[in-house]
């Protein structure tokens, strides 16, 4: 399918950005996530907190649920999660529990990022599972969409 890891990572992150665009159009914070296992998308989602009136309806959480349903398992071994924004503590916790292999994210999140920006949950040696983290892929595109969303929100006030 995709010839190398870098090319595959960009391909799937672009899909996550398309999900984030859906969130933007739905007036949700524009975050998108894609769950991938062996070049196969198991789940994809965008933030739906306002739509579902559910504070846990983050893109990562919805995509993880879809991925588990697709695999018929409560765990997601050998899976990469692509997300446009650094995950919050809730989403990192879900990734630990799902036993993902790898997380690739775009922009950092200074207020709630749990992969080093605000806290680094995986830095605690007590967790029974760790995963690889790669950051900054399509960071500019991810950050630009978020900036445009919040600029629009401020202008509407």
Catalytic residues: 60
Residues making up the chain, counted from first to last? 157
> What's the distance, CA 119 to chain centroid?
17
Cβ contacts of residue 45 below 8 Å, gap of 6+? 19, 32, 33, 59, 60, 61, 62, 63, 66
């Amino acid at each position: 399918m995709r010839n190398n890891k870098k090319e595959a990572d960009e391909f799937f992150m672009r899909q996550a950005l398309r999900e984030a665009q859906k969130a933007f159009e739905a007036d949700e914070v524009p975050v998108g996530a894609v769950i991938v296992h062996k070049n196969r998308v198991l789940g994809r989602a965008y933030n739906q907190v306002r739509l579902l009136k559910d504070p846990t309806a983050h893109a990562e959480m919805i995509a993880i649920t879809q991925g588990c349903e697709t695999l018929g398992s409560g765990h997601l071994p050998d899976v990469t999660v692509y997300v446009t924004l650094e995950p919050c503590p809730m989403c990192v916790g879900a990734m630990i529990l799902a036993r993902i292999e790898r997380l690739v994210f775009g922009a950092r999140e200074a207020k709630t990022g749990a992969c080093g920006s605000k806290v680094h949950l995986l830095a605690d040696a007590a967790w029974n599972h760790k995963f690889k983290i790669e950051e900054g892929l399509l960071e500019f595109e991810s950050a630009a969409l978020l900036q445009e969303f919040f600029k629009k929100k401020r202008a509407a006030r």
